[in-house]
Amino acid sequence: MFLKIQQKFQITLFIILLLPLARAQAESEIKIPAPPRLAASSYFLQDFDSGRILAERNADEVLPPASLTKIMTVYIAFRELSNNRLSLDEMVTISEKAWRTPGSKMFIEVNKQVKVEDLLKGIIIQSGNDASVAIAEHIAGDEQTFAEMMNQQAQRLGMNSTHFMNATGLPVPKQHYTTARDLATLTRAVIKEFPDYYRWDSIKEFTYNNITQKNRNTLLWRDETVDGVKTGHTEEAGYCLIASAKREKMRLISVVMGTKSKSARANESQTLLNYGFRFFETHKLYDANTELTTSRIWKGASDTVSLGVAEDLYVTISRRHYKEMKAATSVDVKIMAPVEQGDQLGVVNVTLLGEAVSTVPLVALNTVAKGSFIQRTYDAALLLMK
């Protein structure tokens, strides 16, 4: 009998001793190594779907963007196309100003007509300054007015530390600037809003006027998961690169600004992307406008209201911890009619091992009008009894 009690005591003691070790092991497994330190003025790494920032340094430092500017140039053109104010087959007459614009060129000729589609590919693949000015003039009348459109879109997107003076990225000291964070915001908008046009970013070369030029984004050759986005270089800005890659179902966006060479911007961007994919994973938890729960609604034409999220809910977490993640809804205690579709009536809380991962609004998926006099009176009586 004593031996059995002693054995039970030893087993219990062994378990008690192991518990701190198990907890320590679990805690150590979720610790993620610090992001790499890059030889760049500024950098930023973000998950495309969830928006979670995975690494950053000097992400809000105002810097010249060089040809990264052209992401906004094509973004405006894509908006014009989607709103049927521009067509891919539309012909653009090339001005002398566009033809004379210095820097990288598509080699369009003055007074010749060029299709919008060719100009856009000349901007995206060849980084043509001449093509950028030509499309700007065609859309807005002149480049200065186009720059005003660029700044309007920057403000709409929340790029609050950005100001554009031209469509090319040619330097205008202290007046043409942005940040790594703002450029990531712009890149997410391009990929999300215009996935069909974004595919052009992965084209490795383009021929116009019998001149073939290769895409300056060398990661397109080195990493098959990379499908964009844009390089930039001036003496003032250094060598810059915005890259995006998709591995399995996870897409990352990296912004690297102010490196010392073409190879450095590619290497540092690759390092940043590899870090993100190695230590993180992204999951889609809920679809937008899909009922997650219902709640009692008082004094309404209906007794219940459907609740869900307004946008697809993605979360980015450390790898191999998906099973330990929890999601819970928290609904307002007393919901009174009327309720409009989209009204926030609670939150969805996502946690991982007790730590907050994401909190998003829980919204009404349908409108509930105010009930009749009888319905309101009946519910008022029920509320008094509660």
How far apart CA 242 and CA 289 sit, in angstroms, is: 32
Q: Could you confirm whether 67 is annotated as catalytic?
A: yes
C-alpha atoms less than 13 angstroms from C-alpha of 330 in its C-beta half-sphere: 7
User: Phi then psi for 16, rounded to 5 degrees?
Assistant: -60, -40
Long-range contacts of 352-359 (CB under 8 A, 24+ apart): 352/30, 352/317, 352/318, 352/321, 352/324, 352/325, 352/326, 353/26, 353/30, 353/321, 353/324, 357/315, 357/317, 357/325, 358/50, 358/313, 358/315
List, in order, residues 6 or more apart from 264 with CB less than 8 Å away: 39, 40, 239
Q: Could you confirm whether 127 is annotated as catalytic?
A: yes
Catalytic residue among 50, 70, 230, 299: 70
Q: Tell me if 339 sits within 8 A of 364, measured CB to CB.
A: yes
- Positive or negative torsion for Cα 178, 181, 182, 183: positive
* Ordered DSSP codes for 42-67: EEEEEETTT--EEEEESTT--B--GG
How far apart CA 105 and CA 146 sit, in angstroms, is: 19
* E strand or H helix that includes residue 190: helix 180-193
Catalytic residue among 42, 104, 127, 244: 127
Catalytic residue among 67, 95, 104, 358: 67
Cβ burial of 331 (10 Å; 0-12, 13-18, 19+) is middle
Q: Could you confirm whether 306 is annotated as catalytic?
A: no
Active site residues: 67, 70, 127
